[in-house]
Amino acid sequence: MNSPSPYAKFFFVFFVTAGLFGQAPNFSASISANSGGDESYVMTFGFSPAATDSFDTGMDSYAPPAPPPPAFDAALVWSGERYYTQILNGSADDLVEHQYGYFTCL
């Protein structure tokens, strides 16, 4: 059986890894916060090349102002704004750390 030359192996690994690591981040994940009662909040965060680091109509959703205590509340916080969904810019040219905050009240 013929095996690929070392050069063929190198180019295969190079193109596969370049394709995997040269792409912009594009994912989302959701977390749920629950006080143990009937109220539950689903919050979605992530990155997309089509998003900006501010509010994007059709992609992000603001959370309403927090209710007065002792009501349960949860939201993502980005740039001082409360969100249920916040997708940030996922550009291969902008691979800096993005740190979300969160707000809970019980």
Taking only the tens place, the pLDDT of each residue in 7-39 is 444 333 433 444 445 577 889 999 998 887 777
pTM for the model: 0.70
What residues make up the domain containing 32? 24-105
Domain-located, residue 78? yes
The total of other beta-carbon atoms located within 10 Å of residue 60's CB is: 20
Taking only the tens place, the pLDDT of each residue in 64-101 is 998 888 888 899 999 899 999 999 988 777 667 777 77
Number of domains in the chain: 1
